[in-house]
Structure 1
Amino acid sequence: MTKTAKLYRMVMDKHVCPYGIKSKWLLEREGYEVEDHHLTTREQTDAFKGEHGVETTPQTFIDGRRIGGYTALRAHFGRREADEGGTSYTPVIAVFAVGAALAIALSLFAFGAPFTVRTAEWFVAFSMAMLAMLKLQDVEQFSTMFVGYDQLGRRWVPYAYAYPFLEATAAVLMAGRLLPWLSIPIALVIGTIGAVSVFYAVYIQKREIKCACVGGSGNVPLGFVSLTENLAMIGMGIWMLLRPTL
């Protein structure tokens, strides 16, 4: 027996509702034949809202019963919505996964082998660069979170604003082993200050706060991830001191 659903969504010359598109896709994915009703004018949309006593579109009806908008439709099919206030390590996992993939791909191209010394160096450098990029998306918000636990940042606020630029500079230079006299000190200094700050806040003070490591919009708890980021910078700086050339 064919399952059918009625979908009412805005499809106008200058605006096609993205949630309407996703609702149609979700219904079809669940095996429904969709009666797709387009609301092509603002007047038509307002009239539909008034008739059904709703404030938003799209609206889906299944078996004559109104399900609601896209979020309600997902819930109807048992698809869990992400908790906006909950902890998520997804940005960190994405950064490290892409950093590793880039490093391996470049190593294969340059040396014909996936795992080399340069693979490890590139992985750290690329990961640092992407973490810095996330911070640079909103330096103001990042700095606000950063001064909450960084020992130097809370004493000298300009450091909080400079940190993402310093991390990005060190990452780019280390990726190409350029200007080691500049990249190594930057990595060692900001990495050491960061590691001490995180260790003190998390393991001495036992504070539970959000980490600024993926930028101000992330919801990663301060702790292992940030400590790892800083220790990796320290390790990279020491490694390049010991192995200035390959």
Structure 2
Amino acid sequence: MSHPDDETGDVLRRHLRIVEALLFASTQPLRAAELVPYLGEGVDVDGLLVVLQRQYEGRGVNLVRRGEGWAFRTAEDLGFLLRREEHETRPLSRAALETLSIIAYHQPSTRAEIEEVRGVATGKGTLDLLMEAGWVRMRGRRRTPGRPVTYGTTEAFLDHFGLEQLSDLPGLDELKGSGLLSGRLPHDLQIPLPFDGALRDDEDPLDPSDMGDTELDDQEN
């Protein structure tokens, strides 16, 4: 006759194996809610993720959190081993890097607000490029005249730059030292607390026709 503790341990191990398999098979970070259908209601998915994360500490692959999602990633100290396998990609232009940095630190931001910080116009192509990369998304529309589109970062942005959450973003001095912000930006530029929630009180939801179309934003600014 099996002991209740043994049965509990077997269930835990089975659940951990399921979570492990799903995360390994996914190319994108998965949220706890996305794992529930495979485990059943009432299962402490968050607890399972924490247990699995501890099991992978110190190994060549770690379980990391990216926003609300979780994913297996190569341990940071072993990343150099995979660099030879990376495909050469065209680096982002300075305009794109500055725009991405401003959105990351000032989100939600409109195109006009980005231009105010940079001091120069931001072309439609720059925002398109960042959205095609999956790092920037349209969040909503600001409740101001013209109802301009607001932009924010994505979980793919956190994943690409190895951040668990926006609060892990480097400070202003580190940002300038890395070349992501140029010297022409205001010397007294302040870094606010970025907001990456659903919508703020001063934002309205996007219309279905807005998705994937930044031309509307161009016409309104």
- TM beyond 0.5: no
Give the helix-richer structure, 1 or 2.
1
- The TM-score by the shorter chain falls in which range? under 0.3
Bigger Rg, structure 1 or 2: 1
TM-score under structure 1 length normalisation: 0.26
User: Does 1 or 2 have the higher relative contact order (CA < 8 Å, sep 6+)?
Assistant: 2
